[in-house]
Structure 1
Amino acid sequence: MATWQCVKNCGACCNLDPTARPELDEYLSPEQIDIYMSMVGEDGWCINLDRETRECTIYEKRPSFCRVTAETFHSMFGITAADLNDFAIDCCREQIEDVYGDRSLEMLKFDRAVGI
Structure 2
Amino acid sequence: MMKIKQETWQCVQGCGACCQLDPGDRPDLEDYLTPEELDHYLSLVGENGWCINFDHETRKCLIYEQRPRFCRVQPDTFEAMYEIDPSEFNEFAIDCCRQQIEGVYGNQSTEMQHYNREITQNN
Query: TM (normalized to structure 1)?
Result: 0.98
Tell me the distance in 2 between the aligned counterparts of 1:62 and 1:35. Answer: 11
Structure 2 unmatched runs, 5+:
1-5
| Map of 1:49 onto structure 2 | 54
Tell me the distance in 2 between the aligned counterparts of 1:72 and 1:40. Answer: 21
| Map of 1:61 onto structure 2 | 66
Tell me the distance in 1 between the aligned counterparts of 2:57 and 2:47. Answer: 17
Q: Match of 2:49, SS? A: coil
Tell me the distance in 2 between the aligned counterparts of 1:83 and 1:14. Answer: 23
1:19-65 alpha-carbon deviations (Å, 9 max, x no partner): 00010000101000011001000310000001101000000000000
Which amino acid in the other structure matches residue 78 of structure 1? E
Over the matched positions of the two proteins, sequence identity in percent amounts to 58
Which amino acid in the other structure matches residue 4 of structure 1? W
Matches within 5 A, 1:1-116: 1-115=6-120
Tell me the distance in 2 between the aligned counterparts of 1:43 and 1:2. Answer: 32
1:60-102 alpha-carbon deviations (Å, 9 max, x no partner): 0000000011111011100011000000000000000000000
- Number of aligned residue pairs: give it: 116
Structure 1 runs of 4+ aligned residues shifted over 3 Å read none
Tell me the distance in 1 between the aligned counterparts of 2:64 and 2:95. Answer: 22
